C-alpha cells in the first residue's frame, strides 16, 4: 500500500511539473545520442507540426516538378539562339552553399544513425522512425533535407543558362527525388534515415568538388571517379535497405514503411543505379567515349578553363 501511495504521489508531482510524467519520454531520450550542443532552432523543432504540413501540402511537389520541367525545356529553347551566360561567381556561391548545407546536415544526422544502430541494432535503424519522432536534431535536419529538394532544382538553371548538355540522369534524378522525399515524409518512412544520411554525405563531397572546380582548382580526376563510385554505392545500399525492409514485413515484423513505398523507392534506386552505372562506363571505362574534362554526376558541371561544358554526352 505504501509503495502504491508513493507511486501515486510521484505521478501527481510529474503531472504537475511536466517532468517525468511518463516512461515514454524517457524512452524517447534513450534513442538520442549525446549531442555536444543543440541549437535553439533544433530544440524548438516539433515533428508533429512538420508532418501535419506535409500531409496537407505534399502533393504540391507535383506542381514544383511541372514548373521545373516547363522552365528548363522552355529555357533551352529560348537560349538556343542566345549567347551563354558565364555565371562563374553565382555558380561558386551556389555550390559552396549546398556543400555547407550538406556537410552540416551530415554532421547532425550521422550521430543518430550510428547511435541507434550500435545500441538498438539494424532492425531499429530500418524499421523504427525515432530519427524524426524522438530526436529533435536529426528530425530538424531530416525535415530540412526534404524541403531542400525544391531549391536544389536550381542546379539545372545553371546548365540551361550556360548552354551546357542537359543529360536525362540530371533532371530525372532531381524530379523523382523531390516527389519521393515529400511523399515519404508523410509516412515517417523509417528506412529514410539511411537515405538521408547517405545523400547528405555524398552531396557534401560532390558539391565541394564542384565548388573547387568552378574556382578553377585542378582537382585530380580520380576524385570525380571516387564521387561517382560513392553515388553508385549509395544506390546499392538504398536497394539493400529496401529489400531488407520488405523481407522483414513479409516475415510479419513491424516496420514503419508501406509496401507501396518500398516498391517505389526500390524502383527509383535501381533506375538511378542503372543510369549512374551507364554514366560511369561512358566516363571512365569506354575508350571510344571522350573523357577529357569528365566530372562526377549529376549536379552542376563546373566552368572549365576554356569556358566549355564538361559533361559526358
Q: Choosing from 170, 173, 174, 203, which is the catalytic residue?
A: 173
Place of cell 534524378: 173
Peptide bond into 298 cis (omega under 30): yes
Cα three-residue angle 58-233-207, rounded to 5 degrees:
65
Contact indicator for 170, 297 with CB cutoff of 8 Å = yes
Q: Is 57 left (phi over 0), alpha (psi -120 to 50) or beta?
A: alpha
- Residues contacting residue 103 through CB under 8 Å, at least 6 positions apart: 204, 208
Contact indicator for 161, 85 with CB cutoff of 8 Å = yes
Annotated catalytic residue 173: yes
CA distances from 53 to 59, 60, 186 (A): 11, 11, 9
Q: Using only the alpha carbons of the chain, give its radius of gyration.
A: 23
Q: CB-based burial of residue 119 (10 Å sphere; 0-12 exposed, 13-18 middle, 19+ buried)?
A: exposed
**Distance, CA of 206 to chain centre:** 13
Residue 200: φ, ψ to 5°: -55, -45
Place of cell 569506354: 286
Contact indicator for 202, 234 with CB cutoff of 8 Å = yes
Contact indicator for 137, 35 with CB cutoff of 8 Å = yes
Give catalytic residue positions. 173
Amino acid at each position: 500500500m505504501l509503495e502504491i501511495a508513493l507511486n501515486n504521489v510521484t505521478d501527481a508531482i510529474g503531472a504537475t511539473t511536466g517532468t517525468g510524467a511518463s516512461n515514454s519520454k524517457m524512452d524517447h531520450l534513450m534513442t538520442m545520442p549525446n549531442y555536444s550542443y543543440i541549437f535553439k532552432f533544433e530544440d524548438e523543432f516539433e515533428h508533429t507540426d512538420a508532418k501535419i504540413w506535409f500531409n496537407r501540402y505534399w502533393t504540391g511537389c507535383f506542381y514544383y516538378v511541372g514548373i521545373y520541367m516547363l522552365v528548363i525545356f522552355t529555357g533551352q529553347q529560348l537560349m538556343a539562339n542566345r549567347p551563354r551566360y558565364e555565371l562563374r561567381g553565382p555558380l561558386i556561391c551556389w555550390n559552396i552553399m549546398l556543400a555547407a548545407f550538406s556537410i552540416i546536415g551530415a554532421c547532425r544526422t550521422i550521430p543518430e544513425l550510428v547511435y541507434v544502430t550500435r545500441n538498438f541494432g539494424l532492425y531499429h535503424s530500418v524499421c523504427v522512425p525515432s530519427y524524426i519522432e524522438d530526436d529533435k536534431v536529426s528530425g530538424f535536419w531530416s525535415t530540412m533535407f526534404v524541403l531542400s529538394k525544391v531549391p536544389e532544382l536550381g542546379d539545372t538553371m545553371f546548365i540551361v543558362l550556360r548552354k551546357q548538355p542537359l543529360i536525362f540522369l540530371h533532371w530525372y534524378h532531381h524530379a523523382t527525388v523531390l516527389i519521393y522525399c515529400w511523399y515519404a515524409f508523410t509516412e515517417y518512412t523509417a528506412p529514410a534515415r539511411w537515405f538521408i544520411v547517405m545523400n547528405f554525405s555524398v552531396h557534401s563531397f560532390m558539391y565541394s568538388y564542384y565548388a573547387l572546380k568552378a574556382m578553377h582548382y585542378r582537382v585530380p580526376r580520380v576524385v570525380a571517379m571516387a564521387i561517382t563510385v560513392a553515388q553508385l554505392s549509395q544506390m546499392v545500399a538504398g536497394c539493400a535497405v529496401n529489400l531488407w525492409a520488405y523481407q522483414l514485413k513479409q516475415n510479419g515484423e513491424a516496420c514503419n514503411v508501406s509496401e507501396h513505398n518500398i516498391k517505389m523507392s526500390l524502383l527509383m534506386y535501381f533506375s538511378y543505379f542503372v543510369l549512374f552505372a551507364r554514366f560511369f562506363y561512358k566516363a571512365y571505362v569506354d575508350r571510344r567515349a571522350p573523357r577529357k574534362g569528365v566530372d562526377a554526376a549529376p549536379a552542376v558541371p563546373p566552368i572549365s578553363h576554356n569556358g566549355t561544358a564538361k559533361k559526358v554526352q
